[in-house]
A and B are shown apart, each in its own frame.
Chain A
């Protein structure tokens, strides 16, 4: 027991939680922006994979991880514009096109990687983004190291949470944005540009999901390999539902996933004799438990997932 109460252990656990929760948080926010405008995008995993590759390629060839992250955002927008065009303009089924993205985006990423690097017994290495301790704040004992000495992307992710809260709940633009997801017809009659908002939502979603993918290959590890995303997009998708379509809820959900995952790794390391499958289940069991405990009231945007036809009655 004393192993767990050791300060060093707790500190490493918290740092690990923050690292593991960040990609899930960024991508869950991407989905939040998408679904608030009524666009269910289950293609997050695919967008992440593409963002991870583009981010890696740019960071590898320029030596600038920050440029890589930006490129990842652009890559995410490009991939997601396929989804946006088909679902908004052509009124296609959102789930089907999201799934299509999940199939074709990782395939393109894998294809491009093989063209560039071939098949060798070692992975190409890029530079990793340096941590950027915030002056003054990072010298506060205890909290400084835990909260204020990370890569810029981590600050961005956590800063986005209160910003999104203010946007969605306190600004007129945010309320208009949410109206598109709730009742697009009424929104349109009030002069809110529904189609333009939906496109904007898809661009935000693509950019953030691309950043989430690029985070993996520019801030987390310095290599790209197929499958590096490993289902994080789907976990982010559930984090949105879990967080009841609220920025704060999404943050809590991402942190819960990150914490339980970090914890199960440490439990495995400390008790090698326990079957690992039991410990690997912890993050998912926690989700089930919390969902059952809090109940799933219908909380999502009312017109979520429905195509919008302007002239339909």
Chain B
């Protein structure tokens, strides 16, 4: 009897901790139960939209952690910033494996969320599948390439991001060897790598680009090993990465050497932290992009478009420079960025 009781208590404790670990945005928990009830009817979304005091809710799913100090954190903070501006409640689920994308999207759609934010190209299939079953729910797909009645793709220009990073790397490299770390071989990552290489070679024809994939967005130890091997085996001195937490591991390896630098993305790293390694960042303002979606959701005009993020509309910008970048290189670089903006950098 005593044993059974103990087992029950332990099982209970485990279940509770598992739940608290998954989603912990406190602001909407109190209202969850009420909206859940109304949303179980398929017509709920329509009635919600017609009432003036509708509570708009946005949810985000993420395969890495939202506290990864990279991609996940940048996207989550962007969603929260936009949600504050437009009066949305937020919720998230992180640490998902690809098998859980669709079921997680489905449960948010069932819970009556008006907008679901999927921050990455890798969610495309899951979003398309679920969106077809929930015509009343809006889906925003970052780095996406699909459009539908209830899907809007947010597409920061991967080519421009690659050009910006590549131009700076080309200007800064002294060994003529620059590196690139990818997480997974996504379309946007491939595009960034290709334009990174093209831009660096346009600036300095002798540049060689070395690239490697970590096959993960969270294995920072592997990032450190990759950066280490790039420096020791290929004498790489400027790096750019598209792999969130893996990049922070890479930066840690670079810090052990003299004169090795990294270019950050998608947030302005030097604005919030000191680093001897980061020379600048290619900043993507995801908050503005998601904000545009929220505007559309409220106006009822959501769907069938792709919102591009580029230098011209201010969604992409150059981050803070470190002291390691000499003034003349900064001006030279900013001139190049102007060319990228006008589309005259590489035809």
User: Which positions in A face B, CB cutoff 8 Å?
Assistant: 3, 8-9, 12, 16, 19-20, 82, 85-86, 89-90, 92, 100, 103-104, 106-108, 110-111, 113-114, 117-123, 216, 220-223, 225-228, 230, 262, 265-266, 268-270, 272, 276-277, 280
Contact = CB atoms under 8 A, between A and B. Distances in A.
Given A230-B218, A262-B225, A111 B20 contact: yes
B76 A119 contact: yes
Given A225-B220, A276-B185, A111 B65 contact: no
Between A19, A85, A222, A230, the greatest number of chain B beta carbons within 10 A of the residue's beta carbon is seen for A230
Question: Majority SS of interface residues in chain A?
Answer: helix
Given A19-B225, A226-B218, A268-B213, A106 B95 contact: yes
A221 B247 CA distance: 12
B17 A107 contact: yes
A280 B213 contact: yes
Given A82-B14, A108-B21, 18 more contacts: A90-B7, A119-B76, A120-B73, A120-B77, A121-B272, A221-B248, A223-B249, A225-B65, A225-B68, A225-B69, A225-B218, A227-B218, A228-B221, A230-B218, A265-B222, A265-B225, A270-B233, A276-B182
Contacts of B219: 227-228, 230
Contacts of A20: 221, 225
B248 A120 contact: no
Contact of B69 (A89, A123, A227, A280): A123
Interface string B222-255: 1011101110111000000000010011001000
Interface string B128-170: 0000000000000000000000000000000000000000000
B184 to A, nearest CB: 9
A228 B212 contact: no
Nearest to B180: A272
Contacts of A223: 69, 220, 245, 248-249, 252
A221 B21 contact: no
B215 interface: yes
Interface string B310-338: 00000000000000000000000000000
Interface residues of B, number: 57
A19 B10 CA distance: 37
12 contacts: A12-B228, A90-B7, A106-B21, A114-B67, A119-B76, A120-B77, A122-B248, A227-B95, A228-B219, A230-B216, A265-B222, A270-B210
Interface string B191-233: 0000000000000000001111101111111101110111011
A129 B267 CA distance: 29
A3 B233 contact: yes
Given A16-B229, A221-B252, A265-B225, A228 B245 contact: yes
- Nearest first, the 5 A-B pairs at minimum CB distance are A107-B21, A227-B218, A226-B65, A123-B69, A230-B219
Nearest to B69: A123
A99 to B, nearest CB: 11
Interface in B1-48: 3, 6-7, 10, 14, 17-18, 20-22, 24
A269 B233 contact: yes
B17 A221 contact: no
B157 to A, nearest CB: 21
A223 B73 CA distance: 15
B225 A16 contact: yes
Nearest to A117: B67
B269 interface: yes
A104 B17 contact: yes
B18 A104 contact: yes
Nearest to B22: A107
B58 interface: no
Nearest to B249: A221
B344 interface: no
B230 A269 contact: yes
A123 B68 contact: yes
Given A111-B24, A119-B73, A226-B67, A276 B18 contact: no
Contacts of B74: 121
Contacts of A123: 68-69, 245, 248
Contacts of B51: none
Given A107-B17, A220-B221, A227 B65 contact: yes
B50 interface: no
Contacts of B67: 110, 113-114, 117-120, 225-226
B233 to A, nearest CB: 6
A117 B7 CA distance: 33
A221 B68 contact: no
B66 interface: yes
A3 B234 CA distance: 10
Contacts of B272: 120-122
B273 interface: yes
Contacts of A220: 221, 224
Contacts of B182: 276
A223 B94 CA distance: 19
Contacts of A108: 17, 21
B226 A121 contact: no
A227 B216 CA distance: 9
Contacts of A230: 216, 218-219, 221-222
Contacts of B122: none
A111 B232 contact: no
B280 interface: no
Between A9, A16, A86, A119, the greatest number of chain B beta carbons within 10 A of the residue's beta carbon is seen for A119
Given A121-B74, A222-B252, A280 B215 contact: yes
B253 to A, nearest CB: 9
Contacts of A265: 212, 222, 225-226, 229
Contact of A12 (B10, B222, B232): B232
B318 to A, nearest CB: 17
Contacts of A90: 3, 6-7
A103 B273 CA distance: 33
A92 B213 CA distance: 41
